[in-house]
Structure 1
Amino acid sequence: MTHVLKFDFGVGNPESGYTKITPAAEYDKSVGYGFSNVKNVHAKDRDEPSALRRDFCIPLDTSFLVDVPDGTYRVSILLGDEIAETETTITTGEGRLVLHKQRTSAGHFVRSSFSVWVTGSQLKLTFTGRAPRINALEIEPVPTACTLFLAGDSTVTDQPTDGYPYAGWGQMLPLFVKADAAVANYALSGRSSLSFIGEGVLDTIWGKIKPHDYLLIQFGHNDQKPDEARFTEPFSTYKETLKIYIDGARERGAYPILITSVQRRFFEEDGTLRDTHGDYLIAMRELAAAEEVPLIDLAASSKALFEALGPEGTKRLFMWLAPGEFMNFPDGVEDNTHFQQQGGIEVAKLVHAGLKDLKLQPLSLYLR
């Protein structure tokens, strides 16, 4: 795909050069685009002069799917309503947050742009919110756009949509990146720095990363696990394994960034946070200094955040869910390692702040 795809949503006549998408436009593989489910898609025509603003679709709990080759795309979306307030949240792929509770007042419109790393030959935009709208959509290939590749574990990964509100911080990071760059989240649950390589995931990244991209690396949670496939010793094999990531990125003209493991939610009686990563944090800091690699000390910043919130306040960040609170967890759950969506957002904010503090160029230009 080398041209720009343009879609005009609603029931009125389409804007010149745009393809009209009505509420009945269900995805058809032979056409290559459409809504995943049209049962709760509605439309209104406000009979205003502008073809893109006069009408729109109300996409309730559905996804708009577009078949495109794998790669990076800049997506621009027009949202608004002439007579009503709106609120729209959009995720891409498996719940990767790109627009969060975007509100417009009556008579106002917002054009939002973001870049998306597409795999599986399909762009997926999922809509939620109290009053979602979509007026127009444009999709443009941007193969030279900078990409932030993420290598890590379950605290970073894109958690599946059927596990909502379960979320990794990498899943929320696109919210803090401008449209000039995309986030490619290859982090996977249960992986250590060693098993990520052993399962070939790092090789997948090597096949896609290009000069001037960035590789963000957070491992440690599962390097502590005693099994042979995952365990590394902090001051020997852990450092040696992480150096494979550093050297591989540099060999390909990309820039590695090390990130110490985000803290777990374990408190001492005095209200301070108990460190569960120990020597792995020290080892990564030493390696960053020795190899002159930029470091985000997420262990330190998350410790400060969690201690400020305290044992009760942190429950709203972690997967502490009451029975019946969320449909996907009817019996509730108490998890001190993994985040719900709000926790993923708050930790992504810490990573975003850490990236800005590094003052790396041109990376700083891509951060909101």
Structure 2
Amino acid sequence: MTHAFKFDFGAANPEQGYTKISPEDQYEKAVGYGFSNVKNVHAKDREEPGPLRRDFCIPLDTSFLVDVPADGNYKVSVLVGDEIAETETTITTGEGRLVVHKQRISAGHFIRTSFSVWVTDAQLKLTFTGRAPRINALEIECFPTACTLFLAGDSTVTDQPTDGYPYAGWGQMLPLFVKADASVANYALSGRSSLSFISEGVLDKIWSKIKPHDYLLIQFGHNDQKPDVARFTEPFTTYKETLKIYIDGARERGAYPILVTSVQRRFFEEDGSLRDTHGDYLKAMRELAVEQEVPLIDLAERSKVLFESAGPEGTKRLFMWLAPGEFMNFPDGVEDNAHFQQQGGIEVAKLVYLGLKELKIQPLNLYLR
């Protein structure tokens, strides 16, 4: 297959220039595309209102996989709608990276949505959920000139695995706020500090992919506090020295670093104010931003305001406070004051988005919704 793909989903004959995808088309490596699971995929042909819109697939509990020539940015356009029924479709890419969220379309209407995706392991993965999901048509093309927002961080940023839903990092939700001319490449990993992210070679992966005029968002601090030798940094010495490696490396490659203070944990004082658990790491990053003239998003302060306004009870809907039986992946429930469920990830990603908008960095501002 070439670097451009066009798929027509449903039961009618394919539109000219498109490859027909039916509910029986399960992914095979030899073919290079198909549904990961076809048990709950169905097709309908309304016969009207014409090519691409008359028919569609209903992709329940499945992903559509496409092998692409190489890693990098791809622009994706999806056509969704139904002539006679209201639809609601959510689409994630890769490991749960949210790009379309509960998109509701009234009967007789169709919406074409475009977004850019950072693909790794040479395979594009689109997962469909929602109360009434649809996919009418899909177009994919290589987009090497797209601006890329690389993320370096920890578990509060990372793409949490699909089988851990509703776990979500804010970086996983950030694509919701980015236009189709840019993508989010989330290299953040759980448990990493600014130091171990480097020693384990993760930063080298970013250096091998980042290009001039890309951006590198850097949020570390949660695990820099850990006492083990592999992760610990001291706020005003080794922490600042290590973060400077990220800053210098981005600038050497013609990219732009942006520092992000650590998002707050869910710990409240008796008076309802949020307890600061990061201490000097926040102060050190703010100092470094001034010293190195690097843009800073003070996510610690922004999340403090958000969490205090929600209060001890309200923040439970943002963090991983789950009742037994509430989510299938956590039958015994969980009480976690550091990590977010999907709604919390969206809310914190919105704070990062607003922080980026307020920085008024050009041309980055043009890529933000």
Q: Name the TM-score class by shorter chain.
A: over 0.9
Q: Structure 1, residues 182-241: CA drift from partner, whole Å, max 9, x if none?
A: 000000000000000000000110000000000000000000000000000000000000
- 2:286 alignment counterpart: 285
Greater CA drift, 48-57 or 349-358: 48-57
Query: Residue 122 of structure 2 aligns with which residue?
Result: 121
TM-score (norm 1): 0.99
Can you list the C-alpha shifts for 1:218-273, whole angstroms capped at 9, x where unaligned? 00000000000000000000000000000000000000000000000000000000
1:157-202: per-residue Cα shift (whole Å, max 9, x none)? Answer: 0000000000000000001000000000000000000000000000
Give aligned-pair identity as a percent.
86
1:312-344 Cα deviation digits (max 9, x unpaired)? 000000000000000100100000000000000
Aligned to 2:57: 57
Q: What is the match of residue 264 of structure 1?
A: 265
Q: How does 1:1-368 map to 2 (within 5 A)?
A: 3-68=3-68, 69-368=70-369
1:349: how far off? 0.3
Q: In 2, Cα distance between the equivalents of 1:41 and 1:154?
A: 33
* Deviation sequence 1:27-60 (CA, Å, 0-9, x none): 0111100000000000100011411000000000
Contact 1:193 1:223 in 2 (8 A): yes
TM-score normalised per structure 2: 0.99
Any conservation in 2 of the 1:2–1:141 contact (CA below 8 Å)? Answer: no
Give yes or no for contact 1:265–1:273 (8 Å, CA) kept in 2. yes
Cα pair distance change 1:282/1:106, threshold 3 Å: same
Confirm or deny: 8 A CA contact 1:7 1:19 kept in the other structure.
yes
User: 1:133-175 CA distances to partner (integer Å, 9 max, x unpaired)?
Assistant: 0000000100111000000000000000000000000000001
Which residue identity is paired with 1:197? I
The whole-number CA distance in structure 1 between the counterparts of 2:164 and 2:3 is 36
1-structure distance, mates of 2:216, 2:163? 28
Rounded to whole Å, the distance in 1 between the matches of 2:19 and 2:103 is 25
CA distance in 1, matches of 2:316, 2:259: 27
Shift of 1:3: 3.9
Contact 2:8 2:137 in 1 (8 A): yes
Counterpart AA for 2:269: E
Name the CA distance, whole Å, in 1 between partners of 2:53 and 2:214. 37
Which AA in structure 2 matches 1:27? Answer: Y
Indicate conservation of the 8 Å contact 1:218/1:260, yes or no: yes
RMSD of equivalent CA atoms: 0.7
Q: Aligned pairs, how many?
A: 368
Gaps of 5+ in 2: none
